[in-house]
Structure 1
Amino acid sequence: MIRSAAALLLISVWLLRSGSPFFCFVESNSQPTMNFLQKICCLAAPVVLLSACSTDEPHFNYPEPEPTDRIWHPMLFFNYWEGEQLKTAISSTLLTQWTRFKAVADDKVRRNPPAYKDDEGEQLWQRDVGNTISTLAVAGYLTGDTDYFEAAERWALAACDYPTWGMDGTSDGSEYGLPYGHQLLGLAMLYDYGQNFLDEATLTTLRQTMISRVERQYAAYKEYEKAYIQNHTWINTCGMLAAALVLRNDTPKAQEWIDYTQEILDKTSRLLSPDGASQEGPGYWQYGMEFLMMAFDLSHDVGNDFYKNSTWWENTAAYGRFMTLPADHCTTESSLVDWADSPRYSWYGPEHLYRRLAGLNHHALTQYAADQARRYDVSSSWLNLIWYDDSVSSVLLPTTPTFRHFENMGLVASRTDWSGDESLLVFRSGAPLGRFAEQQPEGSYVSGDMGHIHPDANHFIIYANGEYILRNNGYVKRVTKYHNTLLVNGLGQWGEVRTWFTPWPLTPSRDAKIVEAVSEAGVDRITGDASACYLDDAGVERFVRKLIWIKEQNVVIVCDDVELAASGRIELRFFPEHALSAVSGAAVAGATTARNSIRMENLTPAVSAMSLGEEFIEERSSSAGEKRPMVTISAEAASLHQVTAFSWAALPAVAPVVTYDAASATVTVDGRTYAL
């Protein structure tokens, strides 16, 4: 029709200009009549053309620009135009991500929100309520399907009716807590995306609830001692910011709340560990990172780019990758090294986290990590739709480093390769919050930043052939005795005085440190000095541990150098994943598991004794727990120079035997000799 109209216009002009016989019925001397016809053609032709364009071509009613003093919905994570692009992309470039996400959203449509439970504590069950609202709001906006919005409304109104969103509070009765972050984010997203789908009564309820709950949280946070590098702060700040942004049309207080979140996020952005590692462990790294990146992204809307303030963002994807189990053995139930307060499974993602970091840094290896995570990440977050940048390739190069020293946090992670079935070793010996924290002005950090740290200097784990050889005991009470490290007279390191890491403020002179971390010719050498970490009554003057990992032999040699102020009980503790039994004499223990032949040998039996037993591991918040296998090497002495060997082999092979020559300080494995 456009072409026809254009042709009609051209023909009309030609006829008028050429004096065509079409106008023969007009007398040649009737110039006024001809002028009249020319005017009619000039006026009518454009009308015909525009009419043709509008009847035959798709027509879209784009929104009129809003006044500059009002916000334009949607505005959280994408604007109107970006939203239209997303609607197209979910059937093309984002089809894979959309298909997986839609399955999650469809499952949530069929569920109902839980009834309010008047329980004490954090009421963490409410986190799923907020997460569900977010998921359904995104699905509804991108499809226009009212089923999603009806379900989101059902969950949101339930959340609005809950009298509390967690029982954490301040002295004046103000509330805060993790559910606030989740609930406020969910309600804000539904309010933002549902403007044309929800009735005015629902929008009013959402608006009033957000205003009243942000006021509560804001009052609490103004009094509360904020921990700027801890997940609680990031999660709650993100929720507060999202709600404040969408409420800018509705309350003059919104700008005050926005300014407050920007102050918090600016401080956070400058206090993050430069090496990308997290003192809270990989589980809380996932949880906190999701909300921190959302908060940073939302801050772009008010003109702030906090990503540029720290090298954390360049390095933190490597932390996630190195604290992830070999790819072939990652499952929904087991994918992480459960360091610090971390489970063995992924709490959040991690696919979408790697997607954002890949796009942020234009990093192909991080995109590859996201692709690997997709195999076991069943959560399939809506953030995969927002954060996936298909311009970043996905590549694992043969030269990808297998050894990483996170120098600030005092953490070394190493593996044999990135084949997916590799062996893995992780060692920790560093300042509780990292050395960078000690260089900042007093008051930059608070004891709340220590909430998930364990007193575990010189602790390490080994993972091989799909299972742990030596384990971490995970999210349990924070005491030294539950780690693969030293006790003296039953006493451990600073920080185990109570559940919260103490004492505070920290004393740098008490820090552990890594004094050697090298990987050469297939042998890793890692040395940690934890001499200053122990409680004064333990009388520890020196505790230096050196690991030598001979990768091609599947052997780790542990050299422990302990000196005390006076003779006492020196006890080196090791927690194998599977119980070991005596093999030959009192110096060798081993096990045959479903995957491995494992051997542990005391190479210096003349100065120490090895015993096999169990330790009752208490849960974090109760006296409940379970017994787990433990091996101790001990001595009653003022000093101990101990050498211990761990070796393994995938079945049906047998773990190699290690011999030790004290005079030359060497070990021999399968005829090859290695210096210690």
Structure 2
Amino acid sequence: MPKKKYLFINHDIDELRKEIQTIRKPLYKRLYEVCRLYANQPLPEKHPPQSITFMGMASLNLSLAYLLTRQKHYLDEAKRWIFTAVKYPRWGHAHLVDVDLSASWLLFGLGLSYNWLKDELSLQERTLLKDKLILQSNKMYDFVIQMQKDGMEWPVQFWQNHNWINFTGLATAAYALGEEYEQSKQIIDHAKKNFDFVYEVLADDGSNYEGVVYWRYGVIWLFIYAHLLKYTEGIDYFKKSDFMKQTFFYRLYQAAPNLEEIINFGDCHDRRSGHSCALYYKIASEYTNNYAQYLGNLVREHFLYREQYESGVKPGILHEAGLEFLWYNPEIKEKRFDDLPLVKYFEDLGLIVVRSSWEQDAIHFSFKSGHPGGKKQWEKSYELFIDKGWKTRGLAHQHPDNNSFILHAHDSYLAIDDGYNRTVKACEHNVVIVDGKGYPNEGHNDIWEEWKQDCVSEIEEFVNEDDLVYFVGEAHKMYDPTLQLTRFARHVFYTGKDYFVIFDDLNSDQKHTYTWIMHTDTTPNVRYDEVRTFEYENGPAKMNLYSVIPKESDYKFKNTVVRAIMTTQEPDKFRETKMRTIHIENKEKSNSMCFLNVISIRKAFDEENIQIQRIDRPHMKGVIVKKGEDEEVYLFSKSRRIEYQTVKADAEVVLLQYKNEQLVKFMVKDCNKFSIDGNELIKEYIKKTVIKSCHSVSV
């Protein structure tokens, strides 16, 4: 008699039973420990006023524990959870009841339980569970058909986590029911068509505009569905999708250096909801990704419970125990991150990450400037709108954060983001606002629905060579058109030292007050030296903000509070972020404005080791940064007239690097003539780098 093949389990069940005593012993421990928690948890007879996604994962874990051990108490407990959910007349609370996340998590978990435990259930129990799965599948599939007809909601929002989760839950139930359900094949085919498109149009570089928290919440379902298809029909999306191959690196580079915390661009409920051991193990297994195996083990062994209990996202990491067990491949070796590059550019999203090292107290600077939702999504979604009239983006988790940055160093957050927000505003990010205004239509959580196709931001320049990182984000098209901005370019420099130079160039056809904004956890001390300095202290780290240009400016501090309901299913549950905000403004309104700031970072008990000197001339602005025997001169000229000592250039930007007062290296941007001591040098090397507009040369 052939062995029974269980849906979603790609191992021989007898082999797994042996491995729980050997190579899978730690994973089995994870599973039985979480099952112990379920045994002590009371279950409400009526649907609670909250999400019930956790019930789907509990059913999965308990059912798997029974398959592995044949211990009857796991079967009894699984049935307690399963039939409590079955008795609820509706799945979901408050919003899109029966046709959204709670329903789909239950279709997934209870669908697998039906397949795994069917032979252990009485006829009455089997019928109850089967009929409930069919009822809920019908409700959700009817919704899919209607919404795709109307071009609305998650069935056509291909880049959003609801689409991935809901179609996966629906498809899992259809596979579990098989011929017992007359619509199984239609649903399976419909899900395939959906995911054929989804995998094709996701960002090739693996980036995810919804942010790290929704990456861990939503992207895992892309892997769940791909796993389901690989081991039911032999369709391998893992090989077809560049996004799937690369997305681990997006997550890794948006980890803070301590690896526990996150860089929280987009909607992030907190600073810790970022890990999924199960997903790391699946990536490690599918792609022989040794880095993912290392991170998965690190999280499981050290971060697991703090992640669960400080996380604002449910059901949370503990309840992925069954997936961890099934996806862990003990043959994959670990590899630390030390040989990975310290600078990473995710071109689709316009995300640039700069690290000083892979040590846990490293400096980590993330910068974002790109198309809403990413370039590929933006372009493909407009094609669908033109072709079908569908509004497919669903950018509710995208923030107005172009040209914003987040800085984490020495185990502390220094320049921070608002995180989770349902009334997004540019002023709650580290950007420049104009006359107190940011983007049009701000104040709710999807301001992009009626956005024009050419209203995008982008990285204009990116250089990463010879210990120089330089990039430019351009974002003026994102701003309220009544402001008549024609330029908002943010230039960022990093030369491997413990400081960043940020130059902002703004122009408008009107005169404005321009406000440079940065948010932090703490309020700074203010020093009035040659350059006004704001010194921030935050536990083990310090940060100095040197306000170099304009020489005369107004500044003020304020408290910024962002309060947001986390889910419409639990309207009394909210998340609040309190930020200390600095505003630096021009004293008199002007058509154009330049801000030049230097941000230096050090350990809390170290003395500052750099000196700052302003250069302020009618045709040129700049700053000299001295550190020991090194001196760097950053020069900017709107009129493209750079003159410093014996250096002349018809350039917008020049960087000069000196050691012991000798010029050793220079960088120029958009330059035709460059001379030192009257000798022209630009022609000599511009031939070698003709396709570049920015050149860095050692003297």
TM-score (norm: length of structure 2): 0.80
What does residue 667 of structure 1 align with?
A: 624
Instruction: Report the Cα offset of residue 493 of structure 1.
Output: 2.0
CA gap 1:495/1:98 in 2 versus in 1, 3 angstroms? farther
What does residue 442 of structure 1 align with?
A: 384
CA distance in 1, matches of 2:373, 2:363: 28
CA gap 1:439/1:447 in 2 versus in 1, 3 angstroms? closer
User: 2:6 pairs with 59, 74, 77, which one?
Assistant: 74
| One-letter amino acid matched to 1:294 | I
Tell which deviates more after alignment, 413-422 or 664-673: 664-673
| One-letter amino acid matched to 1:646 | I
CA gap 1:179/1:370 in 2 versus in 1, 3 angstroms? same
Q: How does 1:86-165 map to 2 (within 5 A)?
A: 86-117=16-47, 119=49, 123-124=50-51, 126-165=52-91
CA distance in 1, matches of 2:443, 2:562: 17
What does residue 39 of structure 1 align with?
A: none
Matched, 1:488 2:428: no
What does residue 248 of structure 2 align with?
A: 317
CA distance in 1, matches of 2:263, 2:220: 19
Q: Residue by residue, what CA displacement relative to the aligned partner does 1:471-498 show, whole Å, maximum 9, x if unpaired?
A: 0110023111110001111211246263
CA gap 1:235/1:265 in 2 versus in 1, 3 angstroms? same
CA distance in 2, matches of 1:655, 1:523: 22
Matched, 1:241 2:171: yes
Matched, 1:195 2:118: yes
Contact kept in structure 2, 1:149 and 1:198, CA below 8 Å: no
Instruction: Report the Cα offset of residue 438 of structure 1.
Output: 4.0
Q: How does 1:594-673 map to 2 (within 5 A)?
A: 594-619=539-564, 627-635=578-586, 636-662=589-615, 665-671=622-628, 672-673=630-631
CA gap 1:346/1:305 in 2 versus in 1, 3 angstroms? farther
Q: Residue by residue, what CA displacement relative to the aligned partner does 1:327-365 show, whole Å, maximum 9, x if unpaired?
A: 3x62xxxx2212100133454742111111111111222
Q: Residue by residue, what CA displacement relative to the aligned partner does 1:448-479 show, whole Å, maximum 9, x if unpaired?
A: 53121011110101000111110011002311
Q: Residue by residue, what CA displacement relative to the aligned partner does 1:549-587 show, whole Å, maximum 9, x if unpaired?
A: 3433x2122111111211111111100121213233692
Contact kept in structure 1, 2:207 and 2:346, CA below 8 Å: yes
Q: Residue by residue, what CA displacement relative to the aligned partner does 1:20-49 show, whole Å, maximum 9, x if unpaired?
A: xxxxxxxxxxxxxxxxxxxxxxxxxxxxxx
CA gap 1:660/1:524 in 2 versus in 1, 3 angstroms? farther
Instruction: Report the Cα offset of residue 626 of structure 1.
Output: 5.9
CA distance in 2, matches of 1:495, 1:285: 26
Q: How does 1:176-325 map to 2 (within 5 A)?
A: 176-224=99-147, 225=152, 226-300=156-230, 301-325=232-256
Instruction: Report the Cα offset of residue 439 of structure 1.
Output: 3.9
What does residue 527 of structure 2 align with?
A: 583
What does residue 377 of structure 1 align with?
A: 304
Instruction: Report the Cα offset of residue 664 of structure 1.
Output: 7.7
SS of alignment partner, residue 377 of structure 2: helix
Tell which deviates more after alignment, 217-226 or 591-600: 591-600
Identical-pair percentage: 20
Contact kept in structure 1, 2:270 and 2:420, CA below 8 Å: no
CA distance in 2, matches of 1:323, 1:348: 9
Instruction: Report the Cα offset of residue 403 of structure 1.
Output: 0.9
CA distance in 2, matches of 1:304, 1:592: 54
Instruction: Report the Cα offset of residue 427 of structure 1.
Output: 0.4
Contact kept in structure 1, 2:561 and 2:576, CA below 8 Å: yes
CA distance in 1, matches of 2:604, 2:429: 28
User: 2:361 pairs with 411, 416, 421, which one?
Assistant: 421
CA distance in 1, matches of 2:626, 2:441: 39
What does residue 643 of structure 2 align with?
A: none
CA gap 1:345/1:352 in 2 versus in 1, 3 angstroms? farther
Tell which deviates more after alignment, 86-95 or 238-247: 86-95
CA distance in 1, matches of 2:391, 2:62: 37
CA gap 1:527/1:260 in 2 versus in 1, 3 angstroms? same
What does residue 36 of structure 1 align with?
A: none
Instruction: Report the Cα offset of residue 514 of structure 1.
Output: 0.7
CA distance in 1, matches of 2:576, 2:323: 36
Contact kept in structure 1, 2:38 and 2:58, CA below 8 Å: yes
SS of alignment partner, residue 659 of structure 1: strand
What does residue 512 of structure 2 align with?
A: 568
| One-letter amino acid matched to 2:592 | S
CA gap 1:90/1:163 in 2 versus in 1, 3 angstroms? same
SS of alignment partner, residue 619 of structure 1: strand
| One-letter amino acid matched to 2:622 | A
CA gap 1:659/1:372 in 2 versus in 1, 3 angstroms? same
Tell which deviates more after alignment, 641-650 or 454-463: 641-650
CA distance in 2, matches of 1:448, 1:398: 37
CA gap 1:212/1:503 in 2 versus in 1, 3 angstroms? closer
CA distance in 2, matches of 1:605, 1:588: 13
CA gap 1:347/1:146 in 2 versus in 1, 3 angstroms? farther
Q: Residue by residue, what CA displacement relative to the aligned partner does 1:496-544 show, whole Å, maximum 9, x if unpaired?
A: 263213243x434211001223333444222101121111112211100
CA gap 1:347/1:190 in 2 versus in 1, 3 angstroms? farther
TM-score (norm: length of structure 1): 0.83
Q: Once superposed, what is the RMSD of the aligned Cα atoms? A: 2.4
CA gap 1:261/1:396 in 2 versus in 1, 3 angstroms? same
| One-letter amino acid matched to 2:505 | D
| One-letter amino acid matched to 2:439 | Q
In structure 1, stretches of 5+ residues that fail to align are 1-62, 66-71
What does residue 48 of structure 1 align with?
A: none
Contact kept in structure 2, 1:581 and 1:612, CA below 8 Å: no
What does residue 358 of structure 1 align with?
A: 284
Instruction: Report the Cα offset of residue 308 of structure 1.
Output: 3.2
Contact kept in structure 2, 1:73 and 1:193, CA below 8 Å: no
Instruction: Report the Cα offset of residue 163 of structure 1.
Output: 2.0
